[in-house]
Chain A
């Protein structure tokens, strides 16, 4: 094809224009350290304010959050809030894309794995000034997690609530299999696998003893295991905090569970995992146990149609000293692109500290981080919600402190863990090779 001169000039001009746009998108958009006065941006006094708010979650959460938005708008004239929601799997792809376009949602639900990623890249606003001037009241926040949204000395994210990663069991499935539910104050990892294998055997494979550990929440599961052994997924400096041996041991438990029939066939395991909470073995009556977050109990119970219980993680020694910890379930953060940061801060304060808001959301974003409100709503929760409160209260004295915010790149660990677990389950790789390749891949992800 022959191109005329005007065409060439046109192409070059268009290209140049777009390059400039891209470069403009990449420009730093503020953020900055603490200590300065709170930036107000446009507020409702300047005229109508529109805030965009994004979150991930289930249908229940979407409905509840829409209700929150309507209530907030009716109580705050001149402020409109536009909801922007999706499932977890796509949420961070979308958030990254909109942030890259200079259009990050003002108020955004965040996750421990990504707070540092966004904060370090100046995509989140430092909330310290708003906390200091009282716009965001943090005086009643659960101490265990109050400071988990800090990077260095600046607070970039406010936790919405707390939850713990633990084992959810179906007592009726155990009873039907004729296998007693183990005592979780003294059980060991071996005992967990053996009991689970017994359940599968006794039911002729109709009900599996447990769901795989390395897929759903695999990184957290391993983190609890590592902390039980005095290690961590990431240490305080954001470096790898565990040894290869520990990872090998943990994956060997998974392998044993798979080979002994405690878990389903690998391909069923993969499908169950892809189906999320709804397809969880304990939610469909096909399994006796699985590792889940405490705030997922209501959804699991709804699927199962019968009462489910929490159990503590097993330990190596059978001494009940697990590596479990209370985790900030998720966070609220403000995009540094936000034109009305003061209004965004007011909304966040309302979400965590107002009785109205907490009554709508209940324990869906974790047990409310405001401890006064948590006690207040506890009796109004449904049975699974109350069970979660009771369980967290019961285990809190034994819990370890939550880990520091993981380094940039931590968001990849989950997928890497999942991939190697699948390869191990399908016998494509030895546990030892998987562990050493996992270490180097995580190392390059956080580098």
Chain B
């Protein structure tokens, strides 16, 4: 944000020099503003072209395809609302919703709590903070990658590293953490919680913004650590918590790689890890049902958009902006 402002203000002062005084002020101001805007557009152009070609175009295409029967090979045929009607009778659609909501509902709060917890520990001025911060941030960078998903499949396999340790500790018959439907989703949730680094770094920055005088005042008034956390830290951090919450919810709804790799693309065992995005992919690319997949994508957009709107409305009641 600030860099954009810099660009336009610098451009403005540039323009001002040759123009000289004497012109009517309002007109000059308008002109200056416009040319600043063009420079900004110029800088934005690469991103903007990318957005049009790579994002906006396919989004618009899928909006059209959602109302067609499109087999991927062959041409789309207009079928109106058929695809949306089919969802009501599709048990796997409901299953994928269920799996995704459990995943988002459990992993996001856990992940944020964990991120905040670690951020508070790191905020106490440890030596080598930069190192710890980098180490904890690492999983966020690589957590969504194919390699990590493959690694997790190995670690959590029936004969994997984790069960080796459990057996060593005396567990008789530890389950296959990714191959048993009762545990597979839980394992993926843990994988997501593990990528707590990104929200942690943001929390850490937020914690630093809280003036220490509040804590001093609170402790003078006799507030203990817990009370300080509840009455000082949480309210002052609430905008950051809100920001992380919105971001991570959207992020979790879009999870795909982990489930795809861990289940070999099936969402198995027995559909227990059938993420919404995975089901969408299966319909579109595996089952020659791209029209239906496009409709699914739009429903997902509505769900995520709706939830985000609810989040923003609810934020009025708990987010404290300090003014």
Contact = CB atoms under 8 A, between A and B. Distances in A.
A23 B58 CA distance: 12
A179 interface: no
B285 A93 contact: yes
B180 A266 contact: yes
A160 B47 CA distance: 48
A14 B56 contact: yes
Interface in B266-296: 266, 268-271, 282, 285-288, 290
Interface stretch (A235-243, A371-379, A391-399, A412-420): A412-420
A10 B178 CA distance: 47
Contacts of B271: 419, 423
A75 interface: no
B270 A267 contact: no
Contact of B266 (A19, A266, A419): A419
Contact of A426 (B58, B157, B266, B269): B269
A267 B269 contact: yes
A100 B53 contact: no
Interface in A1-26: 10-11, 14-15, 17-19, 22-23, 26
Contacts of A419: 266, 268, 270-271
Contact of A118 (B73, B159, B175): B73
A274 interface: yes
B72 A97 contact: yes
Given A15-B57, A26-B76, A89 B70 contact: no
A16 to B, nearest CB: 8
Contacts of A412: 286-287
A60 interface: no
B179 A271 contact: yes
A415 B53 CA distance: 34
A181 B52 CA distance: 66
A422 interface: yes
A106 B227 CA distance: 71
B209 interface: no
Contacts of B180: 266-267, 270, 426
A271 B157 contact: yes
Interface in A418-447: 418-419, 422-423, 426, 428, 445
Nearest to B178: A271
A437 to B, nearest CB: 8
A426 B183 CA distance: 12
Given A14-B53, A14-B57, A419-B268, A121 B73 contact: yes
Interface in B51-103: 52-53, 56-58, 60-61, 64-65, 70-76
Nearest to B59: A15
Given A14-B52, A18-B61, A419-B270, A267 B75 contact: no
A97 B285 contact: yes
Given A97-B72, A267-B158, A423-B270, A11 B56 contact: yes
Contact of B64 (A19, A90, A97, A418): A19
A36 interface: no
B57 A415 contact: no
Nearest to A93: B285
Interface in B38-56: 52-53, 56
B186 interface: no
A22 B285 CA distance: 16
B265 interface: yes
A70 interface: no
Contacts of B282: 415
Interface in A103-153: 117-118, 121-123
Contacts of B268: 270, 418-419, 422
A250 interface: no
B164 interface: no
B181 A428 contact: yes
Contact of A422 (B60, B159, B269, B288): B269
A21 to B, nearest CB: 8
Interface in B126-179: 157-159, 175-176, 178-179
A28 interface: yes
Given A17-B57, A18-B57, A274-B264, A27 B270 contact: no
A216 to B, nearest CB: 12
A27 B286 CA distance: 21
Contacts of A14: 52-53, 56-57
Contacts of B269: 266-267, 270, 422, 426
Contacts of A426: 180-181, 269-270
B181 A18 contact: no
Contact of A89 (B52, B75, B264, B270): B264
B61 A99 contact: no
Contacts of A418: 266, 268
Nearest to A420: B270
14 contacts: A18-B53, A18-B60, A26-B75, A96-B73, A96-B285, A121-B71, A265-B158, A270-B180, A271-B176, A418-B268, A419-B266, A422-B181, A426-B180, A426-B269
Interface of B: 52-53, 56-58, 60-61, 64-65, 70-76, 157-159, 175-176, 178-181, 264-266, 268-271, 282, 285-288, 290
Given A28-B75, A96-B72, A117-B73, 13 more contacts: A14-B53, A14-B57, A18-B57, A18-B58, A18-B60, A19-B64, A96-B288, A267-B176, A409-B287, A415-B286, A422-B269, A422-B270, A426-B270
